[in-house]
């Protein structure tokens, strides 16, 4: 191995370091020669999950390795980050004053600054990014207003964010902030905010072709706008994936739309949308978004679909249909929910009548099953 050209070794090590950092750590322990020749590739893909000390140690190591690099400077191309747990003390009785722990406050501030410093170093070279941070009941430290270079993320192709977009430009921002971003996955631990607008995303990343929205509990106004006016919000959008909240969460929320009816209505929504759209299955609980995000990020690095799982029909529609060719009158979300309920009730009645007819063929004559309700 010592006789191989550094360029060849760098390519080999890069192909091996697609597991979030485990292989890179192993290469650094092989020998001094391997440690030196793999320095540029060991940081190709990095996963940092919920540990203050891990972030501090990694940043120190990364800066040290960049300082001594001679041929290939260590560069992070693929990054997965899960924010640390928020140790903010909870209140006691109503009206009680809860004093913050100064040590926790200082450690949290140091962590947020380390994350910001890391992004200032890697933003220009990142190709994929998966970020899970605070939103709703998921008690993770919020990463807000992280300053990045004015050029934003010029090389970023795929972005997954569980939570809100925390990145802001330092100084005068160059537009767009994500000029090459093609695949955007936005999710939230509890449910997709009904009042969330996607206009800012369209401004910051005008080249998006694939959009996945997770933990949706219906077609919000922003989602309906995508279906009614294709090519307006996202001019190049070719695929919309909707991942509904899982059945465990849906059944646990009083007053929430029945999960089966909601999924049925979302499927009808996708069938009548102005762009190829599809409902992606979701059987996970909201709290599992942390592990799910990493699994899907690793799957994409390995050449898999990640969150972009589509049926054969969905892929055919994506390949054959041009933007805007499916425009037609589309019922509103309320009409879709009503139709889904009626269709489900008709199906249940038909199944019950068939079951009665099989068990009591001589004494019961169930009514003839009529056609299922039609949407048009």
Do 29 and 53 meet the contact criterion of CB atoms below 8 Å apart? no
**pLDDT-above-70 percentage for the chain:** 76
Q: Is the pLDDT of residue 178 over 60?
A: yes
Nearest CA to 186 out of 234, 131, 232 is that of 131
Say if 351 falls within a structural domain. Answer: no
Of 330, 319, 310, the residue nearest 269 (C-alpha): 330
**How far apart are alpha carbons 275 and 280 in whole angstroms?**
15
In a domain, 370, yes or no: no
Pick from 92-101, 164-173, 254-263 the range whose average pLDDT is largest: 164-173
Q: Is 311 part of any domain?
A: yes
In a domain, 149, yes or no: yes
pLDDT digits (tens, 9 = 90+) for 18-69: 999 999 999 999 998 899 899 999 999 999 986 788 999 999 999 999 999 8
Cβ within 8 Å of residue 183, ≥6 positions away: 157, 158, 159, 208, 209, 210, 211, 212, 308
Check residues 194 and 307 and name the one with the higher pLDDT.
Answer: 307
Q: Is residue 341 part of a domain?
A: no
For residue 247, pLDDT beyond 80: no
Number of domains making up the chain: 1
- Average pLDDT for residues 92-120, to the nearest whole number? 76
Higher pLDDT, 37 or 246: 37
For the segment 109-150, what is each residue's pLDDT rounded down to a tens digit?
888 899 999 999 999 999 999 998 865 555 677 777 788 877
Range of the domain at 259: 76-86+102-330
Kindly indicate the confidence band of residue 254, based on its pLDDT and cuts at 50, 70 and 90: very low
In a domain, 220, yes or no: yes
- Look at residue 49 and tell me if it is in a domain: no
pLDDT at 309: 83
In order, the DSSP letters of 302-367 are TTS-TT----HHHHHHHHH--TTTT------HHHHHHHHHHHHHHHHHHHHHHHHHHH-TTT--PP
Could you tell me the two tokens for 311?
Answer: 């049926």
Quick check: pTM over 0.85? no
Is residue 319 assigned to a domain? Answer: yes
């Amino acid at each position: 191995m010592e006789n191989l050209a550094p360029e060849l070794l760098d390519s080999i090590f890069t192909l091996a370091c697609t597991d979030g950092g485990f292989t890179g750590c192993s290469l650094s322990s092989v020998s001094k020669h391997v440690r030196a020749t793999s320095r540029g590739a060991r940081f190709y893909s990095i996963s940092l999950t919920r540990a203050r000390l891990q972030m501090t140690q990694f940043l120190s190591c990364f800066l040290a390795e960049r300082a001594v690099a001679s041929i290939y400077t260590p560069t992070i191309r693929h990054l997965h980050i899960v924010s640390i747990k928020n140790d903010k003390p909870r209140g006691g009785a109503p009206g009680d004053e809860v004093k913050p722990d100064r040590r926790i406050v200082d450690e949290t501030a140091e962590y947020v600054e380390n994350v910001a410093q890391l992004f200032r170093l890697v933003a220009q070279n990142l190709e994929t990014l998966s970020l899970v941070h605070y939103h709703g009941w998921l008690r993770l430290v919020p990463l807000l207003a992280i300053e990045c270079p004015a050029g934003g993320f010029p090389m970023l192709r795929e972005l997954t964010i569980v939570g809100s977009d925390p990145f802001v430009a330092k100084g005068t921002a160059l537009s767009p902030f994500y000029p090459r971003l093609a695949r955007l996955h936005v999710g939230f631990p509890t449910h997709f905010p009904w009042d969330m607008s996607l206009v800012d995303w369209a401004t910051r990343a005008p080249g998006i072709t694939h959009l996945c929205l997770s933990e949706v509990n219906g077609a919000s106004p922003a989602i309906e706008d995508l279906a009614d006016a294709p090519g307006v919000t996202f001019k190049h959008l070719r695929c919309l994936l909707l991942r509904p909240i899982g059945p465990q969460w849906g059944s646990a929320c009083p007053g929430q739309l029945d999960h089966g009816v909601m999924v049925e209505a979302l499927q009808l929504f996708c069938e009548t949308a102005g762009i190829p759209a599809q409902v992606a299955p979701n059987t996970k609980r909201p709290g599992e978004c942390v592990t799910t995000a990493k699994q899907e990020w690793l799957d994409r690095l390995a050449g898999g679909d990640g969150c972009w799982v589509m049926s054969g029909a969905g892929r055919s529609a994506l390949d054959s249909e041009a933007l805007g060719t499916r425009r037609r009158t589309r019922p509103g979300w309320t009409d879709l929910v009503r139709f889904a309920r009626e269709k489900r009730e008709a199906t249940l009645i038909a199944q019950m009548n068939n079951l009665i007819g099989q068990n009591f063929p001589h004494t019961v004559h169930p009514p003839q099953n009529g056609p299922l309700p039609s949407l048009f």
